Amino acid sequence: MKITCDFCKTEYSVPSRPATAVKCAICGHVWAVAAPARRDVFLKFFAALCALFAAIVFAAVVMITHDKKVEKNKPLVATITGYESVVDDEGIPHLVVSGRITNQSAEIYGVPDLILVSHAADGTVIEKQKFMPSATLLDSGGYTEFRHILSVPVSQVKKVTVELPDMPTPGDKK
């Protein structure tokens, strides 16, 4: 079976579930491996239904609270356009976040790494996941779509935001 470090998400293949806590060889995090979810077809189906429902509720809540303001002084703007859910090998639903990066400046811009931030119900940041969109350059007015699976289970996430790293404004003198 596969086990994943809670902290750095490194995956390990082990012959069977360790009975005691395990230590990650990469980051040193110690965690207890939970028993794998039952592979029962009905349970999987039920998990998928729950995931779908959670994603719908989640999307509705996010759409209601979505802030429409445009950040005019930034050349690139990243927005989240949709959520789906997938169920992993353990039967745990995860959110798939899709969105768009738009170049609203008059210059050509390189596409930076994006950071998806998962927030808990109380507003605390559960996880920041950095990833690289497929496009590398955006013409003026151009955009590219992105799609990324969150590693945090859907049940823990109340809100997702997308961040771009700070970048210089065009025309800035060094």
Task: Please report, as ranges, the residues that interact with Zn ion according to CB under 5 A.
Answer: 5, 7-8, 10, 24, 26-27, 29
In contact, 82 and 145? CB cutoff 8 Å = no
Q: Which residue, 32 or 70, has its beta carbon nearer to Zn ion?
A: 32
Min dist. Cβ of residue 2 to Zn ion (A) = 14
- The per-residue DSSP string of 74-106 comes to -SEEEEEEEEEEEE-TTS-EEEEEEEEEEE-SS
Min dist. Cβ of residue 24 to Zn ion (A) = 3
Q: Which residue, 9 or 66, has its beta carbon nearer to Zn ion?
A: 9
Min dist. Cβ of residue 46 to Zn ion (A) = 31
Q: Which residue, 10 or 81, has its beta carbon nearer to Zn ion?
A: 10
